Structures are given as structure tokens and as C-alpha cells.
Amino acid sequence: MSYSQDVLNHLHRRNPGEPEFLQAVHEVLESLDPVLQRHAYYQEARILERIVEPERQLIFRVPWLDDTGQPRVNRGFRIEFNSAIGPYKGGLRFHPSVNLSILKFLSFEQTFKNSLTTLPMGGGKGGSDFDPKGKSDTEVMRFCQSFMTELCRHIGPQTDVPAGDIGVGGREIGYLFGQYKRIRNEFTGVLTGKGLQWGGSLIRPEATGYGCVFFAEEMLKTRGETLAGKTCTVSGAGNVAQFTVEKINQLGGKVVSLSDSAGTIHDPDGIDAEKLAFVMELKNVKRGRIAEYAQTFNCHYLDGQTPWGIPCDGAFPSATQNEISGTDAVTLVQQGCQFVSEGANMPSTPEAVDVFQQHQILYGPGKAANAGGVATSGLEMAQNSMHMNWTRAEVEARLQLIMASIHASAFETAQEYGQPGNYVMGANIAGFVKVANAMLDQGLV
Ligand code: NDP
Ligand code: 2IT
């Protein structure tokens, strides 16, 4: 039995009932065999056993008062997965589905993603099963204040730097930052995704979507193509989806779908800048449903469906994990989809990934394709520690360079290990080697 298989068997016994975590670890460990065989020292130092075990897992009670004065209780989490190459770094997710398995999968992925960014950041993730939907601003504020009252003792600009993810955007980061500052009496870069007037970086809101499109453009370049004139489907309608649409439009592509958990809109004419402004107002201010887009612009609404049945040249899954099944992947390929760039984390099931790889689809896995968000968080941290701000053009240029570098590193590593075009293997090995070597250098920690 191979070393990685042995560790996976052990992992299953130790982490029952954590399907998302096991799925994410499987995907990484299965592609590491070539590097583990080439360098016996990883096995001798038991690096795999160590790298799949979070350094620290925090679970805490979050009590808060709703607007009727009733006490409510949620569960808060922070997983500090790996700090070999920098302070823990990764977002906070507020969604009713949040549990230990989902946050362990996300923080495990984050470790390798952050390694790929070229910046010094370890891996972490946190959040709560709190559901922001239907809550007033004051309820969200009281929840965030209570959440930070506990979290603040565990984080810090040199220790652990949270940011946004599903259900956590500028509003939530503001409330969280305000409470941290109040308790600790220090104004520091302890969170990223901050407002522009109080330590935020230009381009951070745009970064994940923009970066994911830059990654697609890099993949297309390897086949002598560009996004111009391509029809794209995008899922989700939140932060990542919105700026994915904006950048595809800027590069001359056409986006024909967006979705939320209730359904999908299909707009064959394309979601232009004006329609995108409507989506941003609808989702970020009114907090309404995407169905309203179909009523306003008189296009199709696919109730309860995902966008994967809509013909496209390329797909940008930007909602959540496991949103593309094996069957969806077959449909995408049959209808002519040639590239998939993942804005979301682990949106494709293992069956879907197999389908993409069998059909030589240009498939950019999330830990490479969506790394622009956390990379720009790293740029926000750099600006905070220098007490200065870069211009929009400067941050975007750096983001573009970082995405090109992540692409090159995944592409070249896949080639080096004999599987050209396999971005899954390339990203996993490149991300792993840097973290594993740092762990070796630092002794048995
Ligand atoms: P938002 O909360 O801004 O938007 C999430 C979108 O996805 C909403 O449209 C939401 O619909 C939809 N969605 C969420 N959960 C589900 C579900 N279970 N089923 C169907 N639709 C769902 O989050 P982000 O845009 O920030 O995040 C989207 C994805 O991108 C996540 O996978 C996240 O981990 C990943 N990501 C985010 C980064 C960032 O910087 N924000 C960086 C890298 C990756 P509804 O409103 O109906 O719930
Ligand atoms: O999944 C991710 O990379 C994020 N949600 C962004 C994390 C960050 O620290 O900016």
C-alpha cells in the first residue's frame, strides 16, 4: 500500500462523519504520490500525518439577542490549520450549513492555496452556523460583536488574520473589526476585506472574481485562445460571481447566467454592466433573490436549478462546494464547454473532476483559480504593515502577476511530474512542497 493510501485509511478512521474534509484530503493526497516517491524524506518525517492534522481547532458558544429581545445561541469556529509559512489566514463563513467538516476542508485547502500565492500566509478558516438571511443590520451587528468577543483572544496581525467568505462581506468585517479594536485597543491589520477608509485595500472586493478570470485567460493562452467572444456561465450571485462577470465583460466575453440557492437566471443577451449594477444593488443592498433579475430584464428563470444545463464555452462555478455533479459535468462537456475556472472552493465533485480530465477540459481547481482573493488579502496586510496604500492600478497589476505566477507554477509542476495540463496535480504538488519543506526546516512541530 502506498504511503498516501495508508494515511488516507487512517484519516477515515480518525475523522468519521466529515465527508467534505475527507474529500478535500483525498483530492490532494492522491496527486502527491510522484513527489512522495521521489523524496523519501517526506515519509520519514511523517509529513502527511502531520499536514492533515489541524494545528488547533477552536469551537465556541456565540450568544446574542435578536430584535425581539430573545436570546439566541450559535456555534463559532476557527480552525488554525497550518502556520508553517506564515500566520494563519483565511475567511469566515456564516451559513446554516457550517460545521467542523466544512471548515476543516476549507482550512486544509487554504493551506495549499496560500502557499501558491507566493505570499507568506498559513492556512485557516472559521465561521458560524449563523444565518444572516432575514436578519436586520442590528442583529448581524450583535452577532458579530459576540462572535469577536470570543475570537479576539485567538487572533492577531502576526497570529491569525480572518477575512470574508460566504455570508461575510464588508458589513460583517466592519462590525467584527470595530469590536476587535474596542476590546484590544489597537488599530491593526487583524482582518482583511476592511473598508477603504479604515485600512482596506483597493481591489480586494474584486480580487477573487478578477483573479479567477485571469486564471482562465492564462489557461486559454496555452491553447492560443482568449476569452474574447466566449460565452460563459457563472453560478452564485455574491461577491465572487459579481466580479467574475465584471472582468469577463471587460475582456470581451459574454456571461449568460447567475444563480442563488433558489434558482438560476438565463440571459442569452448577456449580463452587461448596467444589468450587473442591478445585481449588485439587489444582492449587496436590498439582499433580494436573483429571480427578480428575470422579472426586471424579462429573461428565463430556472426555478430550483443550477446553470450547468446552459450551453457555454466556459464555466465559472462561484457559489459553493459540490455544486457540479458528475452528470452536470457530462452535460457541460456535451454542450461544448472547454474550460472551467473555479471561483468557489471545491465546487466540482470528484466525479465531475474525472469527467473534465478525461475530456481534456482546461480545468483550474479552486485552490489555484480563486487564490486571487486571499493573495490580495496578503497585499492588504503588506500595505497595513507599511502604513500606506497602493493605487488601484498597482494592486490590480500585482494581482494579475500573482495569478500568472500561480498558473505557471501549477502548469510547470504538472509537466515536471509527467502529467502536462493536469492543473490539479500541478497545484497540489507545488502548494505541498513549499509547506512540507518549511515543516521539515522547522523540526517536529
Ligand atoms: P457570498 O455570500 O457573497 O455569495 C454566495 C453565493 O453563493 C450566493 O449567491 C448564494 O446564494 C450562493 N450559495 C451559497 N451557498 C449555496 C448553496 N449551498 N447552494 C446554492 N447556492 C449557494 O459568498 P462569496 O461570493 O464570497 O463566496 C462564493 C464561493 O467562493 C464560496 O465557495 C467561497 O468559499 C469562495 N471564495 C470566496 C472568496 C472571497 O474572497 N469571498 C475567496 C475564494 C473563494 P444564497 O444567497 O441564496 O445563499
Ligand atoms: O477561500 C478564500 O480564499 C477566502 N474566502 C478568502 C480568504 C482571505 O483571507 O482573503
Q: For residue 430, tell me if it sits in a domain.
A: no
DSSP E strand boundaries for 146-262: 160-163, 231-234, 254-255, 257-260
Q: For residue 275, tell me if it sits in a domain.
A: yes
CB 267 within 8 A of CB 291: no
Ligand 1 centroid – CA 166 distance (Å): 4
For ligand 2, atom 9, the nearest C-alpha belongs to: 90
The pLDDT, as a whole number, for residue 255 is 99
Please identify, by atom number, the ligand 1 atom nearest to the C-alpha of residue 163: 40
Q: What is the mean pLDDT of residues 215-239?
A: 98
Whether residues 142 and 171 share a domain: the answer is yes
Considering every ligand atom shown, identify the ligand nearest to the alpha carbon of residue 168 and give its number: 1
Number of structural domains (the chain) is 2
Read off the pLDDT of residues 358-406 as tens digits, 9 standing for 90 and up: 999 999 999 999 999 999 999 999 999 999 999 999 999 999 999 999 9
Whether residues 180 and 211 share a domain: the answer is no
Whether residues 182 and 211 share a domain: the answer is no
Of 187, 220, 254, which residue sits at a domain end? 187
Considering every ligand atom shown, identify the ligand nearest to the alpha carbon of residue 344 and give its number: 1
Q: For residue 79, tell me if it sits in a domain.
A: yes
pTM for the model: 0.98
Of 336, 369, 402, which residue sits at a domain end? 369
Residue 167 phi, psi (nearest 5): 80, 0
Residue 168 phi, psi (nearest 5): -130, 110
Whether residues 94 and 217 share a domain: the answer is no
Whether residues 180 and 305 share a domain: the answer is no
Q: What is the mean pLDDT of residues 49-60?
A: 98
Whether residues 352 and 263 share a domain: the answer is yes
Whether residues 240 and 118 share a domain: the answer is no
Whether residues 61 and 175 share a domain: the answer is yes
- What pLDDT band is residue 151 in, cutting at 50, 70 and 90? very high
90: Cβ below 6 Å to ligand 1?
Answer: no
Helix, strand, coil percent values for the chain (each to nearest 5): 50, 15, 35
Q: For residue 13, tell me if it sits in a domain.
A: no
Q: What is the mean pLDDT of residues 399-425?
A: 98
For the chain, percent of residues with pLDDT exceeding 90: 100
Our answer to whether residue 194 is catalytic in this structure is no
The pLDDT, as a whole number, for residue 258 is 99
**Residue 242 grid coordinates:** 459579481
Sign of the alpha-carbon dihedral angle for 350, 354, 355, 359: positive
- What pLDDT band is residue 220 in, cutting at 50, 70 and 90? very high
Read off the pLDDT of residues 236-280 as tens digits, 9 standing for 90 and up: 999 999 999 999 999 999 999 999 999 999 999 999 999 999 999
261: Cβ below 6 Å to ligand 1?
Answer: yes
The pLDDT, as a whole number, for residue 440 is 98
CB 345 within 8 A of CB 365: no
Read off the pLDDT of residues 287-323 as tens digits, 9 standing for 90 and up: 999 999 999 999 999 999 999 999 999 999 999 999 9
Whether residues 245 and 331 share a domain: the answer is yes
Q: For residue 271, tell me if it sits in a domain.
A: yes
The pLDDT, as a whole number, for residue 431 is 98
Q: How far apart are CA 87 and CA 103, in angstroms?
A: 17
Q: For residue 15, tell me if it sits in a domain.
A: no
CATH of the domain at 71: 3.40.50.10860
373: Cβ below 6 Å to ligand 1?
Answer: yes
Q: Which alpha helices (DSSP H) does 152-262 contain, by range? A: 170-184, 204-221, 239-250
Please identify, by atom number, the ligand 2 atom nearest to the C-alpha of residue 374: 10
- What pLDDT band is residue 147 in, cutting at 50, 70 and 90? very high
**Residue 139 grid coordinates:** 442583529
Given the residues 89, 125, 275, 367, the one annotated as active site: 125
Identify the burial level of 377 via C-beta atoms within 10 angstroms of its C-beta, where 0-12 means exposed, 13-18 middle and 19 or more buried: buried
Of 369, 388, 403, which residue sits at a domain end? 369
CATH of the domain at 327: 3.40.50.720
The pLDDT, as a whole number, for residue 24 is 98
Q: Using the 8-state DSSP alphabet, how is residue 197 labeled? A: G
Considering every ligand atom shown, identify the ligand nearest to the alpha carbon of residue 132 and give its number: 1
Ligand 2 centroid – CA 220 distance (Å): 25
319: Cβ below 6 Å to ligand 1?
Answer: yes
Whether residues 261 and 348 share a domain: the answer is yes
Please identify, by atom number, the ligand 2 atom nearest to the C-alpha of residue 370: 3
Whether residues 119 and 263 share a domain: the answer is no
Whether residues 278 and 342 share a domain: the answer is yes
Residue of 155, 159, 208 to mutate, ligand 2, most atoms within 8 A of C-beta: 208
Read off the pLDDT of residues 9-47 as tens digits, 9 standing for 90 and up: 999 999 999 999 999 999 999 999 999 999 999 999 999
Nearest Cα to 105, choosing from 17, 210, 224, 23?
23
Q: What is the mean pLDDT of residues 66-76?
A: 98
The pLDDT, as a whole number, for residue 434 is 98
For ligand 1, atom 40, the nearest C-alpha belongs to: 373
Ligand 2 centroid – CA 299 distance (Å): 33
290: Cβ below 6 Å to ligand 1?
Answer: no
Question: Domain residues for 171?
Answer: 54-187
For the chain, percent of residues with pLDDT exceeding 70: 100
Q: How far apart are CA 297 and CA 113, in angstroms?
A: 38
Q: For residue 99, tell me if it sits in a domain.
A: yes
Q: For residue 92, tell me if it sits in a domain.
A: yes
The pLDDT, as a whole number, for residue 314 is 99
